[in-house]
Amino acid sequence: MKIKTVISLLVPVLGLFLSAACSQERDAVGSSQGQLELTVAIDQPAETRTATPLTATYFATGTQLGITVQKTDGTAYPSHEHTNVLFSAKSSGSNQTWGSTGVDLTTEAARVSAYYPFDFGYNPSAIPITCDEQTDWMYCPWTDKAANNGTINADNRAVRLTMKHAQTIIKYQLVNVNYTNEGNIYRLDIKGKFGRKGTLNSYTGALSDVDEKSFISEQYGTALNFMTDGATNQWFVLPTPDAGEQDVDFTFYIDDKEYHTTVSANLEQGKIYTFNLKMNDTFLSVASVECEAWTEGLSKTTAVTPYTPATPYQGVLMYSDDTYDYYWAEYNVGGSLTEPYGDFFRLGDTKPYESGNASIDLTGLTTICGTEYDAAIVIMGDEWQMPTGDDWLNLESHSTVTAELGVGYRVTSKTTSNSIMIHFAGFYSNGGRDGVGYQAVYWSGDGIHLYNNKVYGGITEFFYLNENTDNFSFFQPSGGPATAPHSIRAIRKVMR
């Protein structure tokens, strides 16, 4: 049977626009001009635009993308290998902006790729996919052209990327044509040259290791009935690469019998295939097959939302500069407003410390703020990250500090009058927490260096030196072994 192709006059695609904003100086080959900043909107290719307005759809606030930047020859881009860098949507709508931990562009030519949804553990060239009805896996293959068709570099920082759907949608619609029994569907199986598990190379969009044994199979405790209004359902699947024209087999278990039919189709990524089926008293048959481009925004379901707390914690605004508002958390990473001490972490480990935890190799890094090694962003999400040593010093310079015996330091902003407590959360000792009420040690995310052939990180120590006076020590940046477990207090930097 030939496939009827439905062509839409409006074909919206996801356009990603990347631009660079100034950032702190980094070691780089070439002249560092700033960091990529991502904005996202749904656009239409120029050849399909019409006078008909299109209602735009945008990623939800908090959505996370993975971005990779390389030199055009496929080697690491200066000054660091920018592979799987987290970009988070700070808002939604036509003015949507995206935040990241920083990807510096230099005079070196670059190429850019992206994928959704983001995970720190993914290798963008081999992302394991298990299809469900919530996740719309997407990718953008390499592009080395800026929006102005120039070479991507510090002078051409605006880059438009087009996100593509990695999956295929299979949909059926079953209608009654003179079927006279009850019309209850108890189970259905759909098989073909596709599967629901496989591997995606987001750099190219290529699929591999598609498991055809993971076919569509559903059993209904409460039967579906197609007698009056028909029955319909849809699934995300991965088409087997280079399968070409193939048989798609449908088996329905209706009332007390099994019905089977087969139709030929050539399944492709980013397409929706609707199989229109009809049922009479004798047999199940295919009336038609429709193929159309998958153009409905990010998902075919309403369930696709990025992970974020129901009421995201915003922190406390402590001070601002010309570029950012600086929000500090009121509790340590791993804690809460009611249990503020949180957990202890080795530097670079995003899991709370337990005896026997393997140390993290940070060789060659000078900062982990906002990276996959940052426990603050991994655990608290969105725009949170570990503070730098300068962030601690800026908090002190913008605040007045009062020691509260047995509790911590009350830090009150000179500009907003807001305050937070830096708790005497103690330190890790002999498998437990010691020093509670008079001492604490907090990691900074930068200041990583080698000392006596061991990796050290920046720490800020807090002491109440004398319980009977106001003699205290606050904000003493220093260094400590990366393998030592300490507390982390998170900061959120929101662009103004």
Mean pLDDT of 198-220: 93
User: pLDDT-derived band of residue 405, with 50, 70 and 90 as boundaries?
Assistant: confident
Of 108, 83, 143, which Cα lies nearest the Cα of 33?
Answer: 108
Mean pLDDT of 297-311: 35
Measured CA angle at 250 (ends 193, 167), to 5 deg: 40
Measured CA angle at 130 (ends 128, 132), to 5 deg: 150
- 139, 204: one domain: no
User: pLDDT-derived band of residue 254, with 50, 70 and 90 as boundaries?
Assistant: very high
Output the domain CATH number for residue 90.
2.60.40
- 375, 281: one domain: no
Which amino acid makes up residue 277? L
Instruction: Indicate whether 177 pLDDT > 70.
Output: yes
Instruction: Indicate whether 400 pLDDT > 60.
Output: yes
Output the domain CATH number for residue 202.
2.60.40.2630
Percentage of residues in the chain with pLDDT exceeding 70? 78
Q: Is 47 helix (H, G, I), strand (E, B) or coil?
A: helix
In this structure, is residue 298 part of a structural domain? no
Q: Which two tokens stand for residue 347?
A: 């530097």
- 333, 236: one domain: no
- 397, 467: one domain: yes
Regarding pTM above 0.85, the answer is: no
In this structure, is residue 231 part of a structural domain? yes
Question: Using an 8 Å Cβ cutoff, are 330 and 491 in contact?
Answer: no
pLDDT score for 355: 66
The domain boundary, picked from 110, 129, 164, lies at 164
Q: Is 51 exposed, middle or buried (0-12, 13-18, 19+ CB in 10 A)?
A: exposed
Domain that holds residue 20: 4-164
- 274, 352: one domain: no
- 269, 203: one domain: yes
In this structure, is residue 119 part of a structural domain? yes
- 188, 214: one domain: yes
In the chain, how many domains are there? 3
Out of 36-50, 216-230, 360-374, 442-456, least confident range? 36-50
In this structure, is residue 180 part of a structural domain? yes
Rounded to whole angstroms, how far apart are CA atoms 313 and 288? 51
Strands 284-293 and 4-6: parallel
Strand residue runs (E) in 152-270 = 159-165, 168-176, 184-191, 194-195, 197-201, 206-208, 216-225, 231-239, 246-254, 257-265
Out of 7-16, 127-136, 282-291, least confident range? 7-16
- 466, 356: one domain: yes
Percentage of residues in the chain with pLDDT exceeding 90? 37
In this structure, is residue 303 part of a structural domain? no
- 335, 474: one domain: yes
Mean pLDDT of 164-186: 92
pLDDT score for 308: 34
In this structure, is residue 305 part of a structural domain? no
The domain boundary, picked from 136, 164, 192, lies at 164
- 276, 149: one domain: no
Strand residue runs (E) in 271-418 = 271-279, 284-293, 316-320, 324-332, 384-385, 399-404, 408-413
Instruction: Indicate whether 15 pLDDT > 80.
Output: no
In this structure, is residue 310 part of a structural domain? no
- 281, 173: one domain: yes
The domain boundary, picked from 107, 134, 164, lies at 164
Q: Is 171 exposed, middle or buried (0-12, 13-18, 19+ CB in 10 A)?
A: middle
User: Which residue reads 């329905």 in tokens?
Assistant: 252
Please give the residue that has the higher pLDDT: either 29 or 193.
193
- 239, 385: one domain: no
In this structure, is residue 253 part of a structural domain? yes
Tens digit of each residue's pLDDT (9 = 90 or more) over 65-110: 899 999 999 998 875 678 998 888 777 666 667 777 677 888 889 9
